[in-house]
Amino acid sequence: MSLTIKEIMTISPIVPVMVINNVEHAVPLAKALVKGGLKVLEITLRTPAALESIRRIKAEVPDAIVGAGTIINIETLNQAIEAGAQFIVSPGTTDKLIDAALATGVPLLPGIANPSDAMRLLEKGITAMKFFPAEAAGGVPMLKSIGAPIPQITFCPTGGVSQKNVKEYYSLPNVACVGGSWMCAANLVDAEDWDEITRLSAEAVQLATS
């Protein structure tokens, strides 16, 4: 049974935002994150290895729910779906992209940075959104402000979220999960330090929920 985007957002408190340069790292990285309690994974389409990484993780890490991020146009949308992405994430919104994404039926988490963006998506029936870039766009105070007049929107703030502020974001009533990358930082992946990635993932869950 397929999941809705809101169901996906409640599976783990943190969605790792992954930039994979070497496709051979994809599966061990995914396994390390899942072992640490982070089962919903966003692979950003910023590298040549991204699409094949989605394919391999979906095939070899059954406990993971793997999605594609940095969906910026219909081309990347179609590539992500062809690769098997179970959900798609965009950094912003255009009518053309959002309409095409909705037509696919694949769970969608579109990015917004202000109330006007949010209201445009609400008109299309979308109530789950990525708040990006979270810190640069006003952070926790902005999410509180948006939540007052538009309480029906559920957010995943991403961009500038760290160990220091993850609990502050996650504790907001209009936040279902947060996006972060510190637990899968490039230096750890390059060093293939899967144990440390698992440790940081488990710590991140504890930081957000304790």
Q: Which residues are catalytic?
A: 42, 130
SS3 (DSSP) at 180: strand
CA distance 33 to 117: 32
Half-sphere exposure of residue 18: CA atoms within 13 angstroms, side-chain side: 37
CA distance 184 to 72: 23
Taking only Cα atoms into account, the Rg of the chain, rounded to an integer number of angstroms, comes to 16
Phi-psi label, residue 111: left if phi above 0, alpha if psi -120 to 50, beta otherwise:
beta
CA distance 67 to 90: 11
Q: What does the angle CA 23 – CA 197 – CA 157 come to, to the nearest 5 degrees?
A: 90
